[in-house]
Structures are given as C-alpha cells and as structure tokens.
Structure 1
Amino acid sequence: MKAFIPTGNPAEPVVLADVPEPVPGPGEALVKVEAFSVNRGETFRLEAPAPGDRPGKDVAGLVVQPAADGSGPGGATRVVGHPMSGGWAEFVAVPTTALAVLPDAVPAVQAAALPLAGLTALRLLRAAGPVVGRRLLLTGASGGVGHYVTELAAAAGAEVTAVTRDAERGARLRELGAVEVVHDPAEARGPYDVVLESTGGKALPVALARLAGRGTLIWFGQASRTPVTLDFFDFFAGPESATIRHFHYLDADSPLDADLAALVRLTARGRLHPEIGRTADWAHTASVLTDLRDRRIRGKAVLTVA
C-alpha cells in the first residue's frame, strides 16, 4: 500500500512510498483511510524522525476488517480514529478503544479534524474544572485547539478572552463565543480564574501575571518553541496561592473512544464546528506540512485520500 514516510528534509518532510499493509492485532480494526489531518506538533517531530517512524494520528474512513476479538465497530462502518502512528496511509490499524462511529451527518473531512485537537480541548476544559461564570484567558487561540476550546468553553458559560495576532481569526473566535479578543497577552485586562497557555516563551509569565488569586494556569503547549523563564520571586509576588499545572491530553480518566464519540455527537448536533483552514488531496501532504509549520494555515489542515 501507499503511505507517507519521513525524509528528515525540512523542504520536503515526507514522501509517498510503498510499505507493507498493516496487520491488525486482536483489538484493532483495519481502517481504509478517506481523510486525515495533520498537526503542527507533528511537523516538529518530522525534523528529526526516528528510524521506522510512520506519522499520522487523526483519521476518518471505513472499517474494512473488524477487530478479531469482537470489540469495536463492525465491517463497512464509517469511523473516526486516533491511532498513535501510521495514519498518513491508505490503510491503518486502529485500536478499537480509539475509534468512534460516524453518522452520515458528519463528513470524513470534518471528522478527521476532530481527534487530536478536539480531544485536547475537551480534556483541557475538564482539567480546568467548572467554568460557568469564570473568566478564562486562552493564548495561541488561532489553531485547531484554540477554536475548539473557545466554542466549548463559551457554551459551558465561561467568559473567554482569546489571544491571536490574526484579525480574521479573531473575528471568527468572537463568532464562536469569545467575549474579548486581544493580540497579545499583555493586552488582556484580567484577572482571570483560569489561564490556558500554549505559546510558551515570553507569553507564559505575562499570562501568569494576569491570573486571579487561587487561579490556575494550565500549560499545554509551547508553540513559540522558545524556552520559558519564570522568576521565582515574581511568581510569589503575583496572584496568591496560584497553581501552575502541566497538561497532556492522553493523561485522562475517560477512554479515547468515549471522548471521540462525544466530539462526534457535538459536531453532528451543530454544537462544535471544526475550523478547517485547508483541504487538499493527499498528494500535497508535504507542502501542506511546511505551510502548517510556517503558520500559513489557520485552523486545521485535512488531506483526502483518493
């Protein structure tokens, strides 16, 4: 079968190659991929790929071989999945614990944009706790996670301030429920009960300074790729009893399949709107990856498999 493999070349990070078709384990279904999305974090890993790396975590398609242990969807079922690797291919083996059934109302292109960004947003807000009536600051709001967080948090009753340098994205974030959009964390007025920080670099200490007493900053990314420096004394002179928490989306109490199904339901009911900045044939995967890496795509990028 055909699949994309890393090259280690920044100008053309992946190439299409012939690879063996995956052999599913007992608890895995074989999925024929119809669409997959790429994530900016994946572009960083492609800079120094390990031998045998097969990228791809977000897929939508059709089950062509159900799991041998009887778990998960049956044959010919439309699904969205979150394998840990191998998704940029014609076929991928996906654990049934990382699959959700797709209704006809959710196209494959929309579904492929859900897993990594949607799971991150959903679980990030759970980590933040109840947000009804609370003030929330979100940095790095232009990407896929930012759009999902804004829409979900606003729907849950939070007063969301979104940080983005892109005026067009800012207008869309207001449509999704943000009460305020600023271009820099320094412009945010605060104080905020919750800060969701994904930029790193100089942004994190600035955002931290806008936290309310006993507030929580959840650090879930470093999109700037710039190390963070926090002054110990500045932190303790700031919001009283504040908490800084690290977050990783796979560290959760709920199973992947249940959370994927929740994202699908929200999308099918029109309560969650995947923001897709580009859709292209998978022949253009390499150029889409470089555009995503260099911030020329806002929202999600989805590739369709012929």
Structure 2
Amino acid sequence: MRRLIPTGDPARPVEFAQSPQPSPAPDEALVRVAAFSPNRGETFLLERPRPGLLPGKDVAGLVVQAAADGSGPAAGTRVAGHPPMGGWAEYVAVPTHSLAALPGDVTDVQAAALPLAGITALRLLRAAGPLIGRRVLLTGASGGVGHYVTELAAAAGAEVTAVTATAERGARLRELGAAAITHDVAAAPGPYDVVLESTGGPALAAALERLVPGGTLIWFGQASRTPATLSFFDLFAGAENGVIRHFHYAGAPYGADLATLVRLVSAGRLHPETGRVADWSSTAEVLVDLRERRVRGKAVLTVGGPR
C-alpha cells in the first residue's frame, strides 16, 4: 500500500512510499482510509522528524477487518477514528476504543476533521465547567479547535469573545455564535470569567490581565511557538486568586467523545470548518500552508478522490 512518510525537508515535508499493510492487534480494526486531516502540531513534528515517525491521527474510512477480540464496529462500517499514528496511508489499524460509527448524513470529509480538534474542544470546555451566562475569551480562534470551541461554548450559553487575525475569519466565527470579535488580545474589553489561551508568548500575559478575580485561565497551546513569561504580581492587577491551568486533550479512550461529535454534526448542531479539501497527492503543499497559518479551520485530504 501507499503511505506518506517524512522527508525532513520543510519545503516538502512528506513524500509517498510503499509500505506493508498494517497487521492489527486483537483490539484494533483495519480501516481503509477515505480521508484524513493533518493538525498544525504535526507540521512541527515534521520539521525534525524522529526515526520511524508515521504521522496521521485523524481519519475517516471503512472498516475492512473487524477487531479479532470482537470489540468495535463490524466490517463494512464507516467510521471516524483517532489512531495514535500512521493515518496518512491507504490503510491504518485503529484501536476500537478510538472509533465511532458514521451515519449516512456525515461525510468522510466532515468526519476526518473531527477527532483531535473536536475532542480537544469538547474536553477543554468540560474542564472550563458550566458556561451558561459566563464571559469567555478565546485566543487562536481561527484554527480547527477554535471553531469548535466557539460553536460549542455559544450553544452552552457562554458569551464568547474570539481573538482572530482577520475580519474574514471573524465573520465566520460570528456565524458560529461568537458575541464579539477582536484582532488583538490587548483590545479585548473584558473582564472574563474564563480565558481559553492557545497562543502563548505575550498573549498569555495580556489575556490574564482580563480575567476576573477568582476566574480561570486554561492554557492549551502555544501556536506562536514563543515562550510566555508571567509575573506573580501580575495577578494582583485583576486576576487575584485566579486559577491558571495547563490542559492537554490526550488520553484514550476517544470513542465516546468521537461519537458525541458525530451525533452533533448529524443533528446540525456542530459544523466542521474545512478551509481546504484536496486530494492527498497535494499533502506536502497543504502541510506548508497549514504550518504557515494560511488555512482557516481544518484541512482535509481525500484518498482516492472526494467522498
């Protein structure tokens, strides 16, 4: 079968190679990949790929071999999956605890855009606690996670202020429920009960200044790739007794959260934002655009044509 492997060249980060078809473990299903979605964090890993790196954590496709232990979906079931690696290929073995069956009204492109970004948004908002009537500041809102967080938080009753680089991207976030858009954290009016911060660098300190006393700032990314510096005394400027929490989405099983996301898409309550859809022959070019933040929301690559 064909798969994409790292090259170590930032200008063309992946290339096709021939590889044996995966041999699933007893609790894994073999999935024929119809579409996959790269994440910006994966583009960073490709800059200096470790030996044996096989990227690909977000896939949609068809189960062609059910798990030997009897768990998970039967052969012939369309699924969304979140394998630990190896999804940029014609076939991938996925633990059954990280699969969710797809109804006919959810496309492979929509499903491939769900796993990492959607699970991150879902778990991030659970970490934030009840949101009805609360003011929420979201940085880095233009990416895949940001679109999901905006729509889910607004639906939960939050008043969301989204920080985004351009007016065009802000318009889409308003459609998804954002109450206000700003292009600079320092310009966000505040104060906010909850700050969801994914940029790092100076944005973290600026966001903290806008937190109410006793509020919560959850730090879930560093898209700027610039370290953040905080002073203990900054907390006395407004966020006194505030909570600063680190968040990372990871931790299997993922199947239940994937099923929730699929159900919301099927019901028309969640709308994956796919800023780029292309054949997987264009993966290298799409990865560069994703790394350089030229893609709004998610990018999806189809294997064997659009589905």
Under TM normalisation by the shorter chain, which class is it?
Answer: over 0.9
In structure 1, the residue matched to 2:263 is 265
In the aligned structure 2, how far is the partner of 1:300 from the partner of 1:293?
12
Q: How does 1:13-162 map to 2 (within 5 A)?
A: 13-162=13-162
In structure 2, the residue matched to 1:293 is 291
What per-residue deviation string (whole Å, max 9, x for no partner) do you get for residues 82-141 of structure 1? 001000000000000000000000000010000000000000000000000000000000
Structure 1 stretches of 4+ moved >3 Å: none
In structure 2, the residue matched to 1:283 is 281
Distance apart, 1:251 and its partner CA: 4.5
Q: Which amino acid aligns with 1:160?
A: V
What per-residue deviation string (whole Å, max 9, x for no partner) do you get for residues 246-281 of structure 1? 0010148xx310000000000000000000000000
Q: SS where residue 4 of structure 1 aligns?
A: strand
In the aligned structure 2, how far is the partner of 1:155 from the partner of 1:180?
15
In structure 1, the residue matched to 2:272 is 274
Whether 1:2 aligns to 2:2 is yes
In the aligned structure 2, how far is the partner of 1:235 from the partner of 1:13?
42
In structure 2, the residue matched to 1:302 is 300
Distance apart, 1:233 and its partner CA: 1.6
In the aligned structure 1, how far is the partner of 2:183 from the partner of 2:251?
31
Distance apart, 1:236 and its partner CA: 3.8
Distance apart, 1:11 and its partner CA: 0.6
In the aligned structure 2, how far is the partner of 1:148 from the partner of 1:39?
14
In structure 2, the residue matched to 1:173 is 173
Q: Percent of counterpart pairs with the same letter?
A: 74
In the aligned structure 1, how far is the partner of 2:22 from the partner of 2:249?
26
What per-residue deviation string (whole Å, max 9, x for no partner) do you get for residues 142-195 of structure 1? 001000000000000000000001111101111111110000111111110000
Structure 1 unmatched ranges of 5 or more: none
Q: SS where residue 37 of structure 2 aligns?
A: strand
Q: Which amino acid aligns with 1:292?
A: L
In the aligned structure 1, how far is the partner of 2:175 from the partner of 2:294?
22
- Alignment check: 8 A CA contact 2:209 2:237 kept: no
User: TM-score by structure 1 length?
Assistant: 0.98
Distance apart, 1:235 and its partner CA: 2.5
Q: SS where residue 125 of structure 1 aligns?
A: helix
